[in-house]
Structure formats: C-alpha cells, structure tokens
Amino acid sequence: VDGIKKTFPIDSGFLGSKKSVKAVNHVSFEIKEGETFSLVGESGCGKSTTGRLVTRLLTPDEGKIWINQEEISKMNENRLREVRKQVQMVFQDPYASLNPRMKIREVVGEPLVIHTKLSAAEREKIVEEMLDVVGLNSYHADKFAHEFSGGQRQRIGIARALILKPKLIVADEPVSALDVSIQSQILNLLKDLQEEFQLTYLFISHDLSVVEHISDKIGVMYLGSLVESGPKESIFANPQHPYTKALLSSVPIPDPRAKRERIILQGDVPSPVNPPSGCLFHTRCPYSMDMCKSTVPRLREIEVGGHFVACHL
C-alpha cells in the first residue's frame, strides 16, 4: 500500500457549504504473504477506511495498492471481480452481515453461488468442510443466524469469508463485540486458520492487547495518518510515539517488574474536519513543543528492521 489517500465530502449544513474529511492521509505499509499486519487506533482514525480501500470496497483518491504484484487501486470491474475472490472481509458484527432468512448453509455457500459454477452437491460438500474447519458442523447448517451466540456467528462469518479460499483477509474489529473469553477462542481460530491456509491478515482493532498475539507487524493510526509502525516486538518493547505509549499504557504487562512509561490520554480526538496544524497529536501530547504546532513530523525509520515513527522527538 503506497501513499493512499481518501477524502469524504461532508455537508456542514451551514448555507450548504461543503467541507471534507481526510479519512486516510498518505498511508503506506507492506504485508508479506502469511503475515499479520494490525492497524490500531481510536475509532475514527481511518483504520476501517484503510481496510475498505485494501478490499477495494472503496477507491483511493490517490496512491496505489498492489496485491501479488498486481495494482488494484484503479482496476476495472471485471478484473476486480476476480481479485475480490482473493480478498475477503470479516466484520465486527457478523449478525448485521448475515441474512436472517437464510439458513447457515446458504449463508456460508452464497459466495460459491456468486463466484463459481459448482453444482449444488459440490457446494454442499465444501460448505460442510468449511463449517467443520471453523468448529461448527452439519447440525448447525440448517439453523438461522439468530439461533447462534456471538462467537458462533463470528465462526459463521469466518467460514463465509474463507469459502472461496482467499489469500488476504481484512478483519475489521472481528472480536470487539465478543466477551473476553470468547475473544481468545476466535483469535486462536484465526491463527490456526492462517497456518492451515497460508492466509495473510490485515487486522483492525482499537485495542493493542487484542492484536498482541496475532500480529507480526503493527501500525498505529491517528486522525487518518500512520504515526508509528514496525515489528510487533519492537512496538511493544520500544514504543516511540507518545500516542503509541498512551495506547500501551492501558495494556496490562504480564511481568510486574517490567516498567513501561504511562501516558494517560487527555481530551478527545479532535474533529477530523478541522484537524490540528503541525503534528496531529499536539493537542493531546504531554511532550508538545512549539515546532509541533507548526511542522508536520514525517514518518522516519528509527531502527533497521522497519520501525518507523512520525514525531519530532
């Protein structure tokens, strides 16, 4: 993903004047095959928009996106249909995306109807296999979505996402709606499936503790920009951006002797319609200096091995 931008027009309602929100502003990252890259940040920071750009549910205004050497950011609809089979999404609330009048076998098998010419019997077989893979069985297949718990519904959503054997899964807050005990079951399932099917994940979460065990690399977003990114170990052990430190301050440390600088976030995220000048984080940063108000800090590599941070400090 190279320098993608996405701006949404909004109607401010004041004498019909038009404003816009830079939802994603010059975001770049790379995910290797079989890896998990997690995007983390508070709600409204552009994580979901980035995910939807990568799946091409949205088209970027600027920048490029490649999947397997193929540039998808300006691809035509026909070719895009093919690419979409390779890239699937898992959503926060699977219930909202599951048709309440369809039995689970139809829900899970629907992408096969849309994208393949397989017979009903062939589809049936694949659906049963896939239900088994996610820990459900044919007993569940004839039930409806409302008959399942949140965790089971997420298993159904995952089965549906995997049925076309995609390469890349964009998982947008896939466990945020679930109880903590169920969260780890679903995270473990995603990890097992990654190994079994050599999947690549773009994982989106507001919670760093959720992505700790599943990520290879982490990117931290604030108001549409990537402020820090790097290998998971490096982000957790050596966070550099004050915003990353603040997010980490709420993550429990297993070893009580280990020390971590604690930054408690003050105030709310500024409106993305009127973002702060200079460093976007300066209105909440405990280290803010004069230059932070006027000069935008560029993302710079601070450590060989791909740890990047955008901060004047």
Binding site for Mg ion (CB under 5 A): 48
Q: How far is the CB of 19 from ligand SF4 (least distance, A)?
A: 24
Q: How far is the CB of 272 from ligand SF4 (least distance, A)?
A: 17
Partner touching 66 among Mg ion, ligand SF4, none, CB below 5 to 8 Å by kind: none
Interhelix angle for 180-197 vs 150-162, to 10°? 20
Judged by beta carbon, residue 39 or residue 134, the one nearer Mg ion is 39
- Check residue 60 for interaction with ligand SF4 (CB under 6 A): no
Position with the least CB separation from Mg ion: 48
Partner touching 48 among Mg ion, ligand SF4, none, CB below 5 to 8 Å by kind: Mg ion
Partner touching 285 among Mg ion, ligand SF4, none, CB below 5 to 8 Å by kind: ligand SF4
Judged by beta carbon, residue 84 or residue 241, the one nearer ligand SF4 is 241
Of residues 248-307, which lie at the interface with ligand SF4 (CB under 6 A)?
279, 281-282, 285, 287-289, 292, 297
Judged by beta carbon, residue 47 or residue 105, the one nearer Mg ion is 47
Partner touching 123 among Mg ion, ligand SF4, none, CB below 5 to 8 Å by kind: none
Q: Do 239 and 229 contact (CB within 8 A), yes or no?
A: no
Q: Which of 29, 242, 245, 299 binds ligand SF4 (CB under 6 A)?
A: 242
Of residues 212-241, which lie at the interface with ligand SF4 (CB under 6 A)?
241
Judged by beta carbon, residue 46 or residue 111, the one nearer ligand SF4 is 46
Q: How far is the CB of 93 from Mg ion (least distance, A)?
A: 11
Binding stretches for ligand SF4 (CB under 6 A): 241-242, 279, 281-282, 285, 287-289, 292, 297, 311-313
